[in-house]
Every structure is written in C-alpha cells, then in structure tokens.
Amino acid sequence: MNAAGRSIEIDRCARDAVALLPHVVPHRDGLQTLGGRVIALPAPARALVARFAEGHEFDDDELSDSERAAARDLIEAGYLLRLPPARPIDRAAPVDVVLSPHIDDAALSLGGTIAQARRRTLVVNAFTSQSYQTGLRVPPERLDAVACAEDRLAGRLLGYDAVSLGLAGAQDRHRLGLSATMGWPPRDVADRFAGEIDAVAQRAVAAIRNALGRAAIGSLYAPAAIGGHLDHVVVALAGPAIAAALGLSPGAVAYYEDLPYAAAGWRGGVELRERAPRFRDISAALERKRAALAIFKTRLRAPQIELCIAHAARIAQRGAVERCYRRSGDEVQAEDGG
C-alpha cells in the first residue's frame, strides 16, 4: 500500500524480458530484414532467434546461459531488445493522456516523463497510416503493422498503453512532399481544415472513453505544433475540444514542445502566451528514452534521436529535461502525475 492507502501494482512482467524487434524475422541462416536482406548469424544466435514468434518475448530465466550470451550480442547489434521490469503503477490514480500526432511523437517529446510517471499513461496516436518511412524498405502493405509493433514495444519499455485513430498522415491525405507539411500557421489550419480538427477530436474522445471507461484523467498533453507540421497543428487545435468533451477545462491542456523540430530550431505553433514553460527532470530515464526512440526505425534515424537527447541536456540547467507549457496553477497536478 502507498501512503494514501492505495494499492500499487506492477502492470507488466516483473523480470527482464527479451523481444525480437519487428524489423527482422527468423531465417534459416539467421535473420531476414523486411526488405529481404538475409543476415547470417552464428549457430547459437540462429538457435535463439528461431524461438521467437512474431510478438513473443522470453523472460531471462527462460534462456540458457549460451542463449543469454547470444542475446547480449544480438541486443548490441540492434536486433533484440531488452525490456526491464515495469515500474510500480498506482492503478487508483488518474490516468495521463497524451495526444500524439504520429506513433513516435509521445516518445520523442515526453518519453522521459512517461517513463518516470507513477500512474498509467494512455497515448492516443492520431495519424497512424503513413506511406513515409526511412530506408528500411518495408513493403508498403506491412508498414502500418510494423509501425504499430514498434509502438507496442516502445510502450512496454516506457510504460504506456496506446490506441490508434487510424487516420492518414498529411503527406498521403493531401499528397504533400515532406517539406510541404511544415510551416503551417494554426490560423490557416483552423480556417482550411476545420473538418479534420473536428474528426480528430471526435475520434480521440471516443477512443479515450473506450480505453479508460470511468477512470479519471489527470494531465492531458497535446503538441504545441512547433515547426508547424500540419498533423501536429491539427492535433494541437483539437486539444481544447477534446478536453471539454472529457469534462476538463480547455485551459487544462498542457502543450509539449515538438521534437525533433524544437531541437532543430523551428518556430511557430499554437499561442502559448498564457502558459509558462515547465521542465521535468528526466536524467534517470534518459537512456530508456533513447532506447525507446531507437525502436522506431521506420520513422527515426540516429541523428534525429541524438539531436533530441542533446536538446534535453542543452535546455537543462543540469542533467536532462523535457519541456511543456501549462497555465499557472496546473503544475501541481503535473508534478503529481509525473
């Protein structure tokens, strides 16, 4: 029991586990990437990866000594992921909700905050159907499923549950080049894409209610839309309507800075004059955040990840922090919720 008399539970496995990343599958010679390249492995590693079915995990105590040694090599090579025991979660506490434009945005901007939270976090991914990917050469028909698998593993590592709205990203629904998705002023988006904002709000509210039932909501996070990515602006503008529909004050929305755009010096975004920056020390969770970001291989490259990690140190007086913007008086709830 905690000091308030509420039970604390471990939601997920209590031991270290090992999982195969979703970008490779077992092959008779070792592993095969989703683009078709075969990765030859020594016999002990081949025997280990052959045990992995899609989505399956093994606890450390299920592995022999030789398999543990092979697992260490495969983890270092980036094919396996070690999942440490989950932190204690207060199931009676309100649930934090993060509105995430894409599957990687919650981890990018709030990964350390989520990893240190003492209560549940629900991530609502809006635009989860995208043809964009890095150079992995994932077959287009499998891309969304692989991205969702990345999200599940990152959620296991950081400690969040996720729901997806299944909407098409701006590049696909408006046939825009990547650069054309950036720099959108919120006023223009509100005028031109009011229907999209309403659709995101309605779907998000339905998904949150379905996932949480009668559970109370603690903090509601939305992107500040720094950089003006069209999808980020749409979700940011939907934030107040989502808050109101859930019985929260529209002013209760906490806006997180959008990474990697803020780290790269982009400007713009929603109006923040009535909100003050709030910094959360994530020093203890920084390496876990880095590991979670490395899972999103369909979306992120190593230089983007390192830019975000460096930004966390640059804006901190010491250690590493994440930044969001709140109205005065909301920070007490934020600190309590992590």
pLDDT in tens, the chain (338 residues): 444 444 444 444 456 788 999 999 999 999 999 889 999 999 989 988 988 765 577 787 788 888 889 999 999 999 999 888 878 888 889 999 999 999 999 999 999 999 999 999 999 999 999 888 877 888 888 999 999 999 999 999 999 999 999 999 999 999 999 899 999 999 999 999 999 999 999 999 999 999 999 999 999 999 999 999 999 999 999 999 999 999 998 788 999 999 999 999 999 999 998 899 999 999 999 999 999 999 999 999 999 999 999 999 999 989 999 999 998 765 434 344 44
- Under the phi-then-psi rule, with left for phi > 0, alpha for psi from -120 to 50, and beta for the rest, what region is 148? alpha
User: Distance between CA atoms of 45 and 32, rounded to whole angstroms?
Assistant: 13
pTM over 0.85: yes
Q: What is the pLDDT of residue 329?
A: 61
CA neighbours within 13 Å on the CB side: how many for 13?
16
Per-position DSSP letters for 259-325, written without gaps between them: TTTTTTT----S--TTEEEEEEE-GGGHHHHHHHHHH-TTT--HHHHHHHHHHHHHTSSSS-EEEEE
In 3D space, the residue among 263, 301, 290, 307 whose CA is nearest the CA of residue 115 turns out to be 290
SS3 content of the chain, % helix, strand, coil (to 5): 40, 20, 40
| Strand bridging mode 17-20 / 57-59 | antiparallel
Tokens of 234: 């749409």
Q: What is the pLDDT of residue 1?
A: 40
Q: What is the pLDDT of residue 85?
A: 83
Residue in the block written with tokens 């964009």? 132
- Name the residue type at position 130: Q
User: Distance between CA atoms of 127 and 137, rounded to whole angstroms?
Assistant: 20
Tokens of 5: 């008399």
User: Distance between CA atoms of 321 and 329, rounded to whole angstroms?
Assistant: 20
CA neighbours within 13 Å on the CB side: how many for 155?
21
Tokens of 253: 């929305």
